[in-house]
Structure 1
Amino acid sequence: MTPKSRTRRAAVSLAVLVGVVVLGGCGIRTTQVPVDAGPAPSRVPCEVSGESITPQTQQQGVPVRVYLVCASQLESVDRTARIPVEKNVDSRVRVAQALLDELEKEPSPPEHEAGFATYVRGPLVLTGARKGDPAGTLRLSRQPEDLPAPALAQIVCTFAESRAAATGGSVLLGGPGEYPPRAYQCSAGIKERPDEAVPTLGALPSSSAAP
């Protein structure tokens, strides 16, 4: 090896050594393997422990499932609701009103501790289908599209998984005005992003199925 070659190799080695020292001094770890640390851990459990739930034998009512907001998503919570027996009132309306009443309640201490919240604010009253409404329509005392998006998402998804749902799983909701009801759907996307508009099938045609 010539003296010129040895000098060139020494210069290259020195340059590499200086580069390593500079990187180390800047706190940069030299690696060619990408590190995927995964999503940041959530501090909100979004789950009520069984020990925090009052035993069914100590409550009066029937078991129901409602949707609350937790960590910016819809999550289901098991509760016990009172469904009054009222004459001349459709059973679907009674069930839906009981679910709506549950959604209006502030989360219990265990639910609150787990990160749950509700955007449904009362008073909200439900009535059945009017003359000309499609069968299975529920009318709110407020126009559904005037409610906050998360509140409407809570109502739709809670109703969709109960006897309040119409045929096909859609929720037929209308308001106090003369606007026709709409068929709202509880999709997986709306459970993940309840602050977005709840998907609908549009305005429904009038029907003579309602009394």
Structure 2
Amino acid sequence: MIRRFRPAAARRAAAVTALALAAAGCGIRGTSVPVDAGDAPSRVSCHAPETGAPVTERVRVYLVCGSTLVPVERAVPRPQGTPGAAVRLPAARALLAELQKPPTAEEIRAGFNSAVPEALRVDGPRAGDAPEALRLSVEPDDLPSLALAQLVCTYGRSAALGRTGGALLGGPGGAAAHRYDCSPDVQANPNIAQQAGWGDPQSQEG
């Protein structure tokens, strides 16, 4: 006995077969249950987020090695802003902090140390000072000669402080700031740092 399909039933069967073949061709298993696949994926940047870590720069600080001063590179936070008065004090404080840090293990093995007191602080110029003056919490001449020489050469060779070759330093009292020279003699014999002062320097250039 031959069964005859009605035309409507035949059309429905053909449509189901076509859908199954199309799904198989796309590598998707056919199913009779509706599936919610969600929205189409959006475009992503694939860029790692910013870490917020401060940008650093390489600077030279002067440490004591034997009886001389030797420059050593350190990484410090880069001062924000253009070079000038606005960055001078942050730069000076960052350099002082590096001089106050204990030498690294590698620096110790190489014979480096620092004489700069941990309690020393630095501030900017007061009224009547030259713009490049820095005021220490101790009178410069009351510091150990090695410490003063370290400060003078570190500040005097700093790009952020103008590379003046010296430092205009004052203390907490009312005495005028004095300029100290980071000369080859001072680097070779830092014990003469106090004698490297140039007197009252308000009209002198560094």
CA shift in 2, pair 1:100/1:168, >3 Å: closer
* Corresponding position: 1:171 with 2:181: no
Bigger mean CA offset, 187-196 vs 89-98: 89-98
Kept in 1, the 8 Å contact 2:91–2:161? The answer is no
Which whole-Å CA distance do the structure 1 matches of 2:140 and 2:131 have between them?
18
> Aligned ranges for residues 29-178 of structure 1 at < 5 Å?
61-83=56-78, 90-163=86-159, 165=161, 168-178=164-174
Give 5+ residue unaligned stretches, structure 1: 1-57, 207-211
Which whole-Å CA distance do the structure 2 matches of 1:105 and 1:132 have between them?
32
Q: Which amino acid aligns with 1:153?
A: A
Q: Secondary structure at the match of 2:61?
A: strand
Normalising by structure 1, report the TM-score.
0.63
Whichever of the two has the greater Rg, that structure is 2
Bigger mean CA offset, 168-177 vs 108-117: 168-177
Displacement of 1:60 in angstroms is 5.7
Kept in 1, the 8 Å contact 2:58–2:74? The answer is yes
The residue that corresponds to 2:24 in the other structure is none
* Corresponding position: 1:202 with 2:199: yes
Normalising by structure 2, report the TM-score.
0.65
The residue that corresponds to 1:190 in the other structure is 186
Which whole-Å CA distance do the structure 2 matches of 1:196 and 1:136 have between them?
23
- The number of residue pairs the alignment matches comes to 148
Q: Secondary structure at the match of 2:141?
A: helix
Give 5+ residue unaligned stretches, structure 2: 1-52
Tell me the C-alpha RMSD between the 2 structures.
2.5
- Between the aligned residues of both structures, percent identity stands at 42
Kept in 2, the 8 Å contact 1:156–1:186? The answer is yes
Which whole-Å CA distance do the structure 2 matches of 1:99 and 1:83 have between them?
11
CA offset digits 1:181-208 (Å, max 9, x no partner): 00111010011111223402102349xx
